[in-house]
Structures are given as structure tokens and as C-alpha cells.
Amino acid sequence: MSVKSEPITINLGPQHPSTHGVFRMRVTFDGETIIDVEPIFGYLHRGSEKLAEERTYTQVVTLTDRMDYVSSMLNNQGYILALEELANIDPKPRGVWLRMIASELQRIASHLVAIGFLIQDLGAWGTPLTYSMREREKILQMFEMLCGARITNSYLRPGGVFMDAPLQFWESLNAFIEDFPSKVEELENLLTSNEIIFSRTKGVAVLTAEQAINASITGPILRSTGVDWDLRKTDPYDYYDQVEFDIPTHTAGDNYSRYLLRVQEMRESLRIVKQCVEKIEPGPVRPHHDEVPNLVRPPKGDCYTAIEGSKGELGFYLVSDGSISPYRWHVRSSSLINLTLLKDMLVGTLFGDLFVTFGSIDINMGEVDR
Amino acid sequence: MKNWNGITLAKEINSHLEKSVLDSNDNDVYVDPEKIYQVMKFLKETSGFSFDLLSSITAVDYYDHFEVVYHLKSLITLSKATIKAKVGYGRQDEPKIQSVYSLWKGADFQEREIYDLMGIKFEDHPNMKRILLWDGFPGHPLRKDFVTNDQSIVEDSKK
């Protein structure tokens, strides 16, 4: 016998602790089953794209920090690559290796946040989050040595990085490379074959490859559906064609595979960092003022450059009118676009799965609203 | 990844869909805004192009007209292309262009964002309303003629 119930609509957010910022959803339930989801954005909209039009090209780097504030280095990298292409700047090799080290460390930090909060959303208060935050802290301290800031780094400059890494940084980095694999294992021992995590995440919110590609979904979510699409391999930028790494993929496309994929990607990122440390050679970290002035004036034109961010394809579209500030700056935000299928993923699942699915998509409101 | 040369791509499109390309250069293809949907459908469904991933849509205000910019990628042929369409000559209040939502669902939020911030309406989009700003916000802030330090917007929103 089935019991009919009245649909009820609930507002979740914008100040709900599990929404990872100021995200708001209007969710309609039938009993405990979700029948409709309407995401509502804009609570963190600061008009970054308009602000950039009144700043110089180098000043815009600070705006990218404040977009996805758990992966600032990656945002810096994406923007600087677009600017270098637009202004025909030739980067210095040491600067490029340094920014690859920085951005791969940032990818690890971002995935640690994603995993930590995903498990937190599952109801495992404390331990896994503390473990992942402990490792992230080490990375943030290394960033502090590099540029003096932990979150809003602004470490990259056109043609390289702001300054060379101090001796202390290399010591910490070597210790981290030594230590991190055992820490990932520790985290995995707790989570990967955990019965509760199995039953809560396996087969929940399944996406197929066709659905994901059609909705422009990229990054770990696309790779969890079995597509080996990683811009570091398919469209290499910086020196990613000179390092060896694999693209982990899964075919299930559910919440569990998205979690597992991030763990594997952290190991691959560490592999890249190791190779960068071996290949880096002494030299200048950015071009001299005479080559690239502080006020960059790219020739008239436009360019679109995309990198593999921690959450997917992070694209920057820059239009120059020949002046010292961008005529138009657009960010292809992977966080926003990865939410396109939120409704399809959630409808039919239960209330308890809502935030687990949401956590496994891994968005950052700073990048969604910009 | 192969980057399609705009002139070559324009020839290919024109040979199948006559007079749909207005102009082209090394990187971009300028498509007739009236025919944008047909061109996109052709690029998505014809083998050899198979642009299955709509990377990004954005728009730029050039004072006398707007430019809608599409960045397409193909996971099958490992290639990318840039398609542009010029709309809104003569600064009408609401320039219009056909939505590509029915080809790529990924256009959903991006087209809404363009409508919100740039004021270009996408026809046949199922949910064409503001996404980042609130309903009733005066104007579209990414337009070049938008007055940025207008305090009345803040005061009106408090009412």
C-alpha cells in the first residue's frame, strides 16, 4: 500500500552550514524524496568582471584570488596564462616550474578540502576533516614562505612568479613529499572501504558520460564517468608535456567514484611536484622590467585560455583594446557550470543524500558568483 | 589539441549552409546571428567536427554592437574552435539571439548570466531570467554605458 503525501517546499541556505558558502536551493520534497530543485545564486556576487575593467592587468591577479579562494594559485595560473598569450610574453623556465609546483600543491589542498567536507556532510564530524585540514595547513604554510599569504596568494606575475622560493620552502617541500603518501593512506584507511561510506555514496546521484559532456561538466565529475579528459594532457600548458602522470578515471559516475578519484588525483599531483623539483634549475623567476613592464599593454585582440583547475575547466577570456586595463575579462567558472545538472542528479534521491551529492560536486561560492 | 583555423572552418560551414558565415579570420568565424542555431547544430552533429563540449559562452560590448562568443571543443576529434556572432547594432534595448540550450544543456547558466549582466536575450531558452542579480535590478552592469557609482541602486534595494 502506498501512502500519498503533500509535496513540501523548503528553502535551504543561503546561511546553511552544509552549503559551503552562501548557496541557496529551493527544494521540493514528497515525503523524504526530492522531486524538484531550484538553485538560486548571487549572494556572493561582487562583480569581479566589471571591477577588472578598471584595474591594470597585473592588479587583476588579486581579483582571481578572491574567486575560488581554496584554489587561488590555480586561478592565478589560468589568468596569467591568458595574459601571456594575449601579450606574447615569454615566461622564464624557473618561474614556470615554480608555478607548476605551487598549483599542484594547491590542487592537493583543494581536493583535501573537498574530501574533508564531503565526509563532514556525510555526518562524520571531526576526524576526517581534521586529518585533511592538517595536511592542507602544511601546504598553506609553504605558500606563506613563497609569497607571504596563505589564501589570497597573488604569487604569479606575467612571465613567471613574484619571487624565488626561499631555502626554507625546499626543506618543507621535501618533508611534505616524504610524508604525504602515508597521510593519504591514513585518510584512505579510514574512508575508502568504510561500510557507511559505501552504503551512503555508492550508486547515488549517478551521471553518465553523455549527460556530463552535454552539460559542459568537466574536471573530476567528468572523469568519474569514464572520460579521460584532462586539459593538462589533452591541451598541455606550461611544462605539463614534460612531466609524467596518469589521468585516473572511474566508470560508475556516482558520489563514491568522485570521492575516490580525488584521492587518486592527489597522488598524481604529488608525482608531478616531485618531477618539478627534480627538473627545476637556477635562473631568473620572471622577466626584467625592460622585457615586461609593470604596466602590460597587450596589443588589440582577444584570447581564451583554459587550464585544468581543481574543479574542472577554468577558462579566462580576455579582450584588449591596447590600453593598460582589460577591455573585457570573462571567467569560465567550472563551479557554476558543474551545477547545471544539479536538479537531474538530486531528483529521486533522499533528503540525506542531498548534501552528500552537493559535497561531491565540490563547488566554491566565490567562483560560482564571482 | 588542434585549433581550427577560422578561414578553413568558415569555408566548410559555408559549403554546407550557404551564406551563414559573414566573415572570418585566422582564429574566429563570424556567423550570421539569424543562423547561429543551424550552424551550431551542424558543428555538433557532423562527423569531422563533432563539437560535443560547449566550453564557454560569453559576450562583449563594443559600444555600437555586442559580440556573443562561443568556444567549442571536441572530445572526439580533439579540436577547438571559436565562433562569434554580432548582435544588437544600433543599441536596441534588448538584442536577441537564438539559444543553443537544446543542443547543449551546458548553455543553461551561461546564457542566463549573459542575459543578466549584458542584457542579450536568448530566444527559446526555457528559463530566461536573471541569475546573479536580483529581479528588478536596473540595467545590465557589464554594458559599457552602465553607471557604476549609482548609489540609488543600493537605496532602492533596501526599500
Whole-model pTM: value is 0.89
Residue B103 placed within a domain: yes
What is residue A104's predicted lDDT score, i.e. its pLDDT? 92
Q: Which residues of B touch A47 (CB under 8 A)?
A: 141
Q: Give the Å distances, CA to CA, from B106 to A162, A333, A335, A336, B53.
A: 36, 12, 12, 10, 8
Domain ranges of chain A: 48-337
Distance, in Å, from the CA atom of A73 to the CA atom of A335, rounded to the nearest integer, reads 16
Distance, in Å, from the CA atom of A172 to the CA atom of B45, rounded to the nearest integer, reads 52
Q: Is the dihedral of CA A205, A208, A214, A220 positive or negative?
A: positive
Tell which of A44, A208, A216 to mutate to test the B interface (max B CBs under 10 Å): A216
Q: Classify A330 as helix, strand or coil.
A: strand
Task: Measure CB to CB from residue A304 to each of B1, B56, B106 and give the nearest one.
Answer: B56
- The H or E element spanning position A137 is helix A127-147
Task: Measure CB to CB from residue B56 to each of A214, A217, A332 and give the nearest one.
Answer: A332
A229 and B108 in contact by Cβ < 8 A? no
A332 touches chain B (CB under 8 A): yes
A233 touches chain B (CB under 8 A): no
Q: Cα–Cα–Cα angle for B124, B128, B134, nearest 5°?
A: 175
**Closest chain A residue to B141, measured at CA:** A50
What is residue B92's predicted lDDT score, i.e. its pLDDT? 63
A50 and B148 in contact by Cβ < 8 A? yes
Whether residue A318 contacts residue A326, with contact meaning beta carbons closer than 8 Å, is answered with: yes
- Residue A275: left (phi > 0), alpha (psi -120 to 50), or beta? alpha
pLDDT at position B14 over 70? yes
SS (H, E, C) chain B: CEECCHHHHHHHHHHHCCCCEEEECCCEEEECHHHHHHHHHHHHHCCCCCCCEEEEEEEEECCCCEEEEEEEEECCCCEEEEEEEEECCCCCCCCEEECCCCCCCCHHHHHHHHHHHHCCEEECCCCCCCCCCCCCCCCCCCCCCCCCCCCHHHHHHHC
Residue range A48-337 in CATH 1.10.645.10: yes
Q: Which amino acid is at A259?
A: Y
Tell which of B3, B50, B54, B131 to mutate to test the A interface (max A CBs under 10 Å): B131
Residue with cell 598524481: A268
Pairing of β B79-87 and β B28-31: parallel
DSSP label at residue A308: E
- The H or E element spanning position A168 is helix A167-191
Structural domain containing residue B121: 2-146
DSSP label at residue A299: P
Residue B26: CATH number of its domain? 3.30.460.80
pLDDT values of chain A reduced to their tens digit, one per residue, 370 residues:
577 778 889 888 787 766 677 888 899 988 888 888 988 888 888 888 888 888 899 889 999 988 888 889 999 999 999 999 999 888 999 999 999 999 999 999 999 998 888 888 887 777 888 888 999 999 999 999 988 888 888 899 888 888 888 999 999 999 999 999 999 998 888 888 888 888 888 888 888 998 899 999 998 999 999 898 889 988 888 899 899 999 999 888 888 999 899 999 999 999 999 999 999 989 898 888 888 888 888 999 899 999 998 898 999 999 998 888 899 999 998 889 998 888 888 888 888 888 888 888 888 888 888 8
Q: Which three cell numbers stand for residue A67?
A: 574567486
Q: Which residues of A touch B61 (CB under 8 A)?
A: 328
pLDDT in tens, B108-150: 899 999 999 888 989 888 888 888 888 888 888 888 888 877 7
Residue B89 placed within a domain: yes
How far B70 CA lies from chain A's nearest CA (Å)?
10
What phi and psi values does residue A132 have, to the nearest 5 degrees? -75, -35
Longest dimension (CA), chain A: 80
DSSP label at residue A69: T
Tell which of B109, B134, B157 to mutate to test the A interface (max A CBs under 10 Å): B109
What is residue A201's predicted lDDT score, i.e. its pLDDT? 86
Q: How many domains does chain B have?
A: 1
DSSP H helices, A66-126, are 72-87, 93-122
Q: Which residues of B touch A319 (CB under 8 A)?
A: 60
What is residue A1's predicted lDDT score, i.e. its pLDDT? 58
ipTM over 0.85: yes
B108 and A340 in contact by Cβ < 8 A? yes
Task: Measure CB to CB from residue A319 to each of B1, B52, B60 and give the nearest one.
Answer: B60
pLDDT in tens, B50-96: 898 999 999 998 888 889 999 999 988 889 999 999 888 776 678 88
Residue B80 placed within a domain: yes
How far B108 CA lies from chain A's nearest CA (Å)?
7
A114 touches chain B (CB under 8 A): no
Under 8 Å CB-to-CB from B55, ≥6 apart: which residues?
Answer: A216, A304, A306, A313, A315, A332, B71, B72, B73, B80
Q: Which residues of B touch A24 (CB under 8 A)?
A: none
